[in-house]
Amino acid sequence: MADKAISNDSLAMDGGKKKFKGRKLRIGMIGCGGICQTHMGAYQEIPEAEIVACCDILPERVVQMAEKWGVQKGYADWREMLKKEKLDAVDICTPNGVHCAPAVDAANAGCHVMVEKPMAMNPAECRKMIAAADKNGVKLAVGFQNRYHERTRFLKRAKDAGKFGNIMFVKVQALRRRGIPNWGVFGQKKFQGGGPMIDIGVHMVEASHFFMGEPKPVAAVGMTWTYLGNKPGDVVCPWPGWDFRTYTVEDLAIGHIRFENGAVMEIESSFAAHIPENRFSFSVMGDKGGGSWDPAEIFTDQDGTMVNISPNYLPDCGFAKLFVVKLQNWVDAIRKGTPLGAPGTEGLAVQKILDAIYRSAAAGGKEVKID
């Protein structure tokens, strides 16, 4: 059954400007670990929002939120926070396995939702989150910052202007030579849903899919391998000492996605691979031109000559800046009714791609259909 098309722009609350006139958007943080700290830093540059409460199962993190950021109201259970605090919105920064439940509960409590990437563990959870947001008329955004990156915008403007013509092939790379996280639960499939494909591959998959115009994926082939992460690390590397005993995710994942419009996407993602260096980028081949994300370039023919076109200037797009941009977009969408950059429906589309690669890998690399 085809998914119901839901536009988060249609969920804008009438009179949003009037509702928030004279006061800030009241936000509760759910999950206060590493990525939450990046969010908190970004909120310091968004004067229209304030973090009034937080929630984490680890008491020391709640204490840190009070000491470092001045968030004095802390909870161990998001349900209690939703019940006791008059929140306008929540920002979910938990492990992937704890995205769906608090998002649904928050939406049912009338709160707008920002959820970190990936949107959830699987498409079924994404649909539950979208349904709850739709039912309650709240904004649901997914933390896809790379679609706001100036390199992505450069290529997207060129694509929309017809510079690439018909997009035939996109190659996506999110590769670490040796970058297995040595903190959190990134190596445990039951909490994360997978390894590099769902954790870092998602970044470039979503940016490239956004660039392509979000065509509908219809089938996938995938393979995964684990060969380093489940063994003691004895090689000098930037992130040593990961917990190999609990490591149940892949080191390397490869995917091949076919889209309804005939385009093909290939994806390579690794936590650990024998490659020259880390690589995060995507490249595109169209019948009128090609391009790459890093470096940002366009390859085409001009006046009988093969030419490479690169921007003379692109605005700063550091990691921290991207978080400011994506959170500001969400805050503005709530307060002003402006377009939401990465609504839940787009999170679902990306999740279908990731899910299909893992399903195919589990089936020995056989092609699987994407509903």
Q: Are residues 95 and 237 in the same domain?
A: no
Q: Are residues 126 and 160 in the same domain?
A: no
Q: Are residues 278 and 327 in the same domain?
A: no
Q: Are residues 214 and 158 in the same domain?
A: yes
Q: What does the pLDDT look like over 246-281, one tens digit per residue?
A: 999 999 999 999 999 999 999 999 999 999 999 999
pLDDT at 17 over 80: no
pLDDT at residue 11 in the model: 37
- Pairwise CA distance, residues 129 & 113, whole Å: 10
Q: Are residues 268 and 168 in the same domain?
A: yes
pLDDT at residue 29 in the model: 98
For residue 246, the one-letter residue type is T
163 in a domain, yes or no? Answer: yes
Once rounded to an integer, what is the mean pLDDT over residues 34-49? 97
- Confidence at 2, pLDDT banded by 50, 70, 90: very low
- Confidence at 233, pLDDT banded by 50, 70, 90: confident
Once rounded to an integer, what is the mean pLDDT over residues 4-9? 39
- Per-residue burial over 273-309, b = 16 or more CB atoms within 10 Å of its CB, e = otherwise: beeeebbbbbbbbbeebbbbbeebbbbbeeeeeeeee
**Distance from chain centroid for Cα 113:** 14
pLDDT at residue 10 in the model: 37
289 in a domain, yes or no? Answer: yes
Q: Are residues 299 and 336 in the same domain?
A: no
CATH number of residue 330's parent domain: 3.40.50.720
Burial group, residue 81, by CB count within 10 angstroms (0-12, 13-18, 19+): buried
Let me know: does 171 contact 282? Beta carbons within 8 Å: yes
Q: Are residues 31 and 124 in the same domain?
A: yes
119 in a domain, yes or no? Answer: yes
Q: Are residues 160 and 297 in the same domain?
A: yes
Q: Are residues 60 and 126 in the same domain?
A: yes
357 in a domain, yes or no? Answer: no
CATH number of residue 215's parent domain: 3.30.360.10
Tell me what the pLDDT averaged over the chain comes to.
94
Domain holding 252, by residue range, is 150-316
Q: Which residue has the tokens 């909870």?
A: 75
Let me know: does 318 contact 39? Beta carbons within 8 Å: no
pLDDT at 14 over 50: no
Let me know: does 103 contact 82? Beta carbons within 8 Å: no
Entry pTM: 0.92
355 in a domain, yes or no? Answer: no
29 in a domain, yes or no? Answer: yes
Let me know: does 184 contact 32? Beta carbons within 8 Å: no
